[in-house]
Copies of this chain bind each other. A is one copy, B any other.
Amino acid sequence: MLSSSQPGASKHGQNLNLVFRALGDPTRRELLARLSKGPAMVTELARPFDMSLPAVGKHLRILENAGLIRRTVSGRVHQCALSPLPLKTAGEWLAKYTQFWDETFNSLNEYIRDDNVRE
């Protein structure tokens, strides 16, 4: 069934791991929401949180490793910007299940059930 190879061995799967795990933390979702309004430096991003600067720095690193933000250093200022493509990837993975969201089990659904949903 599904991918016959190892469960998350593909690069694609690895990205999904990093992205979904990154999204699983509320602080990081807040950071993304903030960055959706435009780039910001680290201190600026950290200000709203009741948390040390290094802690926020770590969250940003995780977002960066997931490809969700990019960082440009100029002087001592690290400017962070949203890099939303991985969100699209995640959205596309979820979209494969859209068919199941409306539990109108019609014949189309029947057809889909016989189809493969791949990892």
Residue positions of A touching B, CB distance < 8 A? 1-3, 7-9, 13, 16-21, 23-27, 29-30, 32-34, 36-38, 48-49, 82, 84-85, 87-88, 90-91, 93-98, 100-101, 113-114, 116-119
Contact = CB atoms under 8 A, between A and B. Distances in A.
Given A84-B100, A95-B91, A101-B88, A8 B26 contact: yes
B27 A7 contact: yes
Contacts of A95: 91
* Binding site secondary structure of chain A: helix
Copies of chain A in the complex: 2
Q: In the A-B complex, list the 4 residue pairs whose CB atoms are closest, starting with the nearest.
A: A8-B26, A21-B24, A20-B24, A84-B100
Contacts of A33: 1-2, 117-119
Contact of A94 (B1, B26, B48, B87): B87
Contacts of A94: 87, 90-91, 94
A38 B109 CA distance: 11
A113 B9 CA distance: 37
Contacts of A117: 33, 36-37
Contact of A85 (B9, B36, B101): B101
